[in-house]
Amino acid sequence: MSDQATAAAPLCAAPDPHPRAPGFKFAPLSCDSHAHICGPSAKYPYDAGRIYTPPDALLPAHRQMLDTLGVTRAVLVQPSVYGTDNAALLDALATDPARLRGVAVIKPDTPFAELEHMHRAGVRGVRCNIVDVKEGKGRLPMDMLLALGRRIQPLGWHLEFLMHVDEFADLDQLLENFPVETVFGHLGYMRADKGLEAPGFQALLRLLQTGRAWVKFTGPYRISTGALPYADVTPYAHAIVKAAPTQIVWGSDWPHVMVKGSMPNDGDIADCLAAWVPDQKAREQVLAHNPARLYGF
């Protein structure tokens, strides 16, 4: 990798190589529903237009982290650094098809036969970055999204959004008749100082209550205004659990690319879930039963 490429897309910090066990016992068949495998960079070249460069974050290190936490299953999500080249993702899925599922990134014209191949490999959804492709403030590119939804509908896939829900006060109306189920990362990816009454967050709650949308309890450091244990995120988690406990999955967000500030230990990230979902049975639903439904384990 050239110095020029790294300068244009700065190298991220690596995850803590010594994860610790969490303070509570994970439920049997728990799932890490959001992680990225990056590298080896010598085998899987990164997209030239990427905005960051991850260090190699490989399956053995991810599995070590999961084993330490007590997590059995995992969903690998295509990181933006690979664009629409899903080779690293598909090769990773092939190493453990019983315990791994995937979320890919595709082109509008990706042949359906290729999508079917991805489905056989374990892909169950498509990720769409709305942060960078909005049609102006508060507007979604609905024509593109509807076409994408109809394309993946025959496979039973969902569409996972990377978007700031506070920018879309009518989110529930925009997506109420969407052709596939939708998933929202990072508790809606809204800064925690926006407030629970933010119209976009309230719209997300209403959308979740339809049973056609899901939210990922991931990346609290991406929305919190503070440090561990990211206490300002907890009220949002409680509101989501109250609104739609069957529509939540949890993910580590490993290897925590582009974290600003100190790198959290994965045990600390896991412990946040005990505050977000203090009831053990509800936590088992979030960790095991809900992802089994969403990803088809």
Question: Cα(183)–Cα(185) distance, rounded to whole angstroms?
Answer: 7
Q: The whole model's pTM is what? A: 0.94
CATH number of the domain enclosing 223: 3.20.20.140
pLDDT tens for 35-85 read 999 999 999 999 988 989 999 999 999 999 999 999 999 999 999 999 999
Nearest CA to 276 out of 182, 212, 186, 210 is that of 186
Note whether 53 and 11 are within 8 A (CB): yes
Its sign, for the CA torsion 191, 196, 199, 202, is positive
Query: Could you tell me how many residues make up the chain?
Result: 297
Question: Cα(178)–Cα(172) distance, rounded to whole angstroms?
Answer: 10
Domain count, the chain: 1
Range of the domain at 128: 3-295
Note whether 75 and 295 are within 8 A (CB): yes
Banded model confidence at residue 3, pLDDT cuts 50, 70, 90 = very low
Question: Cα(18)–Cα(126) distance, rounded to whole angstroms?
Answer: 31
